[in-house]
Amino acid sequence: MGNMMRYKSTIALLIATSTLALASCASAPEPEPYTTAPETAGPGSETAAPLPTNPNVEPCDIGELKVFDWPPPEPSTKVSIPRGLLLLGIPEEDKTLGTVAQRLEAALVDAGYVEFGYQATDCAGFALVTRMEQIDDEGKPLQGTARFEPPSDEAPWSLGGFIRQLIGAPPGYYRQIVFVATTRPYEAENLAPPPSREDLDQMVENADAQALPESMAAEPYTPAHKLHVLIYEFEKRRDEDPMQLMPSRLAGVTHVEAAGIYDGLSE
Domain assignment present for residue 59? The answer is no
pLDDT for 4: 42
Mean pLDDT for 28-53 is 38
Asked if 225 and 98 sit in the same domain, the reply is yes
Domain assignment present for residue 35? The answer is no
pLDDT for 137: 95
Asked if 96 and 2 sit in the same domain, the reply is no
Domain assignment present for residue 164? The answer is yes
Residues 138 and 150: their CA atoms lie apart, in Å, by: 21
**For residues 76 and 247, is the Cβ–Cβ distance under 8 A?**
yes
Average pLDDT, the chain: 76
Residues 187 and 223: their CA atoms lie apart, in Å, by: 18
Asked if 106 and 235 sit in the same domain, the reply is yes
Domain count, the chain: 2
Asked if 100 and 208 sit in the same domain, the reply is yes
Asked if 3 and 98 sit in the same domain, the reply is no
Domain assignment present for residue 56? The answer is no
Residue-wise pLDDT for 84-109, tens only, equals 999 988 999 999 999 999 999 999 99
Asked if 155 and 241 sit in the same domain, the reply is yes
Domain assignment present for residue 65? The answer is no
- Note the pTM of the prediction, 2 decimals: 0.72
Asked if 174 and 245 sit in the same domain, the reply is yes
Calculate what percentage of the chain has a pLDDT beyond 90: 40
Calculate what percentage of the chain has a pLDDT beyond 70: 68
pLDDT for 162: 56
Residues 153 and 165: their CA atoms lie apart, in Å, by: 10
Residues 147 and 226: their CA atoms lie apart, in Å, by: 29
Residue type, 93: E
Structural domain of residue 9, as residue ranges? Answer: 1-30
Asked if 89 and 15 sit in the same domain, the reply is no
Domain assignment present for residue 193? The answer is yes
Asked if 257 and 185 sit in the same domain, the reply is yes
Asked if 126 and 248 sit in the same domain, the reply is yes
Residue-wise pLDDT for 211-266, tens only, equals 898 989 999 999 999 999 999 999 988 877 778 899 999 999 999 999 999 998 98
Residue-wise pLDDT for 13-32, tens only, equals 433 443 433 344 344 344 33
Cα of first residue to Cα of last residue in the chain, in angstroms, is 93
Domain assignment present for residue 64? The answer is no
Asked if 82 and 180 sit in the same domain, the reply is yes
Domain assignment present for residue 38? The answer is no
Asked if 241 and 133 sit in the same domain, the reply is yes
